[in-house]
Each structure stands twice: as C-alpha cells, then as structure tokens.
Structure 1
Amino acid sequence: MFQLEHVNLVVKDISTTLDFILTAFPDWQVRGQGEGDWYGQKRRWLHVGTDQQYITLNSGSDAPNRDLKSNAPGLAHLGFTVEDVDSLTLRLQSKGYIIGTIGADHPYRKTIYFTDPSGFEFEFIQYLTNEPTKRNMYGGETSSIIRVGTAV
C-alpha cells in the first residue's frame, strides 16, 4: 500500500496561501519551515499539514501561475476529501475566497473548487457513501458543473 505524502508548490506569497490552506483545514498546522538554496537562489519554505501528509510551500516570484482555463500542460488542481463541503465553503467564503466551480449534482458526492491566492485550484469533495462502487460512479449527475468565479 502507498499514499501520497506531500505536494510541493512554489507560490507567490507563502503567507496568503498558508491562510487559504489553514482556513480550509483548521486542524492542520505548520510542521516546519526554513530557508534553503534552490540552484543558487535563496528561498523560504514551509510544510503545512498533518503528521502523515502535508503541502510544501516555497517562495517564488510574482509570475502568473498556469491559466486554469487553458489546455496548457501543468497542474490542473489538487483534490482533497473532506467531511463537510458546506462548512468548508462557509469558512473560505467568510475570509473572502470565491468559489471557482460548483461540481455537478451527484447522488454520492458533492464537490466545490476554490483557487488560492497563488492561482492553484483546490477541489474539495465530500463522499456521501462509503461504498467504493458508488463513490467511484462516473455518470449519474443530475446537473452540469457551474463556473462561478472563473470564466469559461
């Protein structure tokens, strides 16, 4: 068995992305932080998450992230299972974060997407069953996805 331990992101501003992540996951904590050398450039890093999984945030430049509306190669989004999509949505919205996409209505899951201040899209999915065949059922949607904060 294996699991994904961490994702390493280079972000525009560690503090603003950290705020987004800790708002989404209030039980997460900063595991460690410091400075390092990346091919001759000094950069700050920070690990935020749990004892088992985390996201590494690295300082970067003000350059734009991949255009999420394009078909350009690169990271499309990070997906996380959560226990309660609605309360997570309220937490993020109360801090001013805007819904990017509302997932299609599905009998066994609810999904919502937000984009963090560095331009990375996060998908949050709540499964409404523990039965794998239902959780992984493709099709069965009773609506289309709704683009809210992102233009098509």
Structure 2
Amino acid sequence: MLYLEHVNIVVKDIPASLIFYQAAFPHWRVRCEGSGEWYGKPRNWLHFGDDYQYLALSDHGEGTLRDNKQHQVGLAHFGYVVQNLNAVIERLTKAGFPVDTYGTPNPHRQNAYFVDPTGYEVEFIEYFSDVPSERNNNQT
C-alpha cells in the first residue's frame, strides 16, 4: 500500500499554525515535539497528526513563500479529503480563518481553499462519488 505519511513544512509560528490545523483536524494530536539545530540554526519542531499521518512543523525558516496568485515555482497547495467539508469550513471560520476561495462547482465533489498562518494554501475536498472518473472529472 502506498500513502502519504507526512508533510514537513517550515512555518513562521508553530502555536499559530497549530490553531489552524487543530481546527481543521480536531481528532489529531501533538505526537511529539522538541528542539534542535538544522544546519547550524536552532529550531523548534512538532509533529501533529494521528497514528498514520501527520504534519511536521518547524519554525526555523527565513524569507517568504511563493505568491499563490502568481506563477513562481514552488508548492501551490496541499489537499486533504474530508468527510464533511461544511464542518471543516465552520471550524476554521470560527477559529478566524475564512475561506480563501471555493473550487469550481462539480456534482461529484466540493472543495474550499484556506490559507494557514504562514501562507500555505490548504485545500479541503469532499467527494460525493466513489467512481474515480467522476471524482476526477473537471467538468461541471
């Protein structure tokens, strides 16, 4: 079996990022955390997830992320399949994170994009079909 175990992202502020991701994934927990050095620079790190998947957050970054509305090379977004998109939207909105944009209407799915405190775009998608050709259809 092949699956994505974790995404390792460098964030501006771990506690602020944790507020966002705890609202998105209330069933996840802090698995472990610590501090150390990464190529000569001190950093704090934290793993937030469940027993099978997690986000690795580190706070040692410098500079800015690519502008998602432009065309620079880099991470555009990462996406999570959820069972109830409206519940995710409600939790994130209540935590102070409005929907950045909605996906194109499609009878087989709905999706919404949010921007976390560091500026990463995160997509949440709910599918209404188990048929791959319908789920992956970009036609409305």
1:41-85 Cα deviation digits (max 9, x unpaired) = 110000001111111000134632221111101110010000011
Q: Aligned residue for 2:121? A: 121
Letter matched to residue 47 of structure 1: H
Partner of 2:4: 4
CA deviations over 1:3-51 (Å, ceiling 9, x no partner): 1111100000001111100100100111100012101111000000111
Structure 2 unmatched runs, 5+ = none
3-state DSSP of counterpart to 1:3: coil
Matched, 1:102 2:107: no
In structure 1, runs of 5+ residues without a counterpart are: 142-152
SS for the counterpart of 1:57 is strand
Give the structure 2 partner of residue 14 of structure 1. Answer: 14
Whether 1:31 and 2:31 are equivalent positions in the alignment is yes
Shift of 1:138: 2.4
What is the letter of the counterpart of residue 120 of structure 2?
F
- Report SS of the residue matched to 2:124: strand
Residue 64 of structure 1: aligned partner? 64
TM-score by length of 1: 0.88
The residue type equivalent to 1:42 in the other structure is P
Question: Matched residues in 2 for 1:60 and 1:67: separation?
Answer: 20
**Normalised TM-score (structure 2):** 0.95
- Provide the identity percentage: 44
**Offset of residue 2 of structure 1:** 1.0
SS at match of 2:100: strand
Rounded to whole Å, the distance in 1 between the matches of 2:108 and 2:122 is 20
- SS of match in other structure, 1:86: helix
Q: Distance in 1 between matches of 2:65 and 2:17?
A: 13
Instruction: Calculate the aligned-residue CA RMSD, in Å.
Output: 1.1
Deviant stretches of 4+, over 3 Å = none
